[in-house]
Structure 1
Amino acid sequence: MVNAKHLATFVLGAAAGVALHKYLQTEEGEKALADLKDKANQFKGEAEGAIDKAPEYFEKLKTEGAEALKQYFPGAEKFLQDLFGGKTTENPTPPSEPQV
């Protein structure tokens, strides 16, 4: 059901679209659009660079984080082993079958 509020929202949106289209046809609008495209390409390049550096960053974070944890919290490894029951993920113990 369309009410007056929805109709007014549609009309305002359409008017804004027409105004934006007319603005972008002017010399100033074309310059603004070109600037926007340049910024988008700059951000795209920065994002691609960050993606390329991410594995190296996380490996460094893992290594330095582990070293800092050992240095500043020497009991952390034992605490985590106690917390998780001293189980390792290399040979997990399969659950036992229920007795019938």
Structure 2
Amino acid sequence: MSVNKKHLATFILGAAAGVAAHKYLQTEEGEKLLEDLKSKASNLKSEAEQAVDKGPEYFEELKTKGTDLLKTNFPDVEQFLKELFEKFKGNPSATDAAPTEPPTPTT
């Protein structure tokens, strides 16, 4: 691939932005900005680690409460879901009626 004027201009602008950012970060205000970013990143990291540690407990609680809520509000949902999964597997349960034959066309 050849380098054209557009690529060269993009490279020069990127380099100039890098130099300007470096100069800014060397000032007192820039160093203060870096310290703020470091402290925020550290806080975010510790919050993420805590969330990861609490994750399994949260999902276990969610599963338990969800199951209890479904059983309370929809008492027949467990049997319904079992029958539905059995139909998808192709294993008709004992509660299903015997299969019926399709109607024969009359002429």
Provide TM-score, normalisation by structure 2. Answer: 0.74
- Within 5 Å, which residues of 2 pair with 1:1-100? 1=1, 2-85=3-86
Cα distance in 1 between the residues matched to 2:36 and 2:72: 49
Residue 8 of structure 1 and its aligned partner are, at CA, apart by 2.0
Relative to the length of structure 1, the TM-score reads: 0.79
Distance 1:15 1:74, change over 3 A: same
For structure 2, the residue ranges without an aligned partner over 5 or more in a row are: 90-107
Query: Any idea what SS the aligned residue of 1:85 has?
Result: helix
Report the 3-state secondary structure (helix = DSSP H, G, I; strand = E; otherwise coil) of the residue aligned with 1:74.
Answer: coil
1:77 CA drift (Å): 1.1
Structure 2 match to 1:94: none
In 1, distance between residues paired with 2:51 and 2:4? 47
Greater Cα shift, 67-76 or 39-48: 67-76
Q: Distance in 2 between matches of 1:21 and 1:74?
A: 65
Identity of aligned pairs, percent?
69
Structure 1 residue runs of 5 or longer lacking an equivalent are 88-100
Separation of aligned partners in 1, 2:86 and 2:77:
14
Q: Separation in 1 of the partners of 2:44 and 2:37?
A: 11
More displaced stretch, 66-75 vs 43-52: 66-75
Determine the structure 1 residue equivalent to 2:94.
none
Larger radius of gyration: 2
Once superposed, what is the RMSD of the aligned Cα atoms? Answer: 1.5
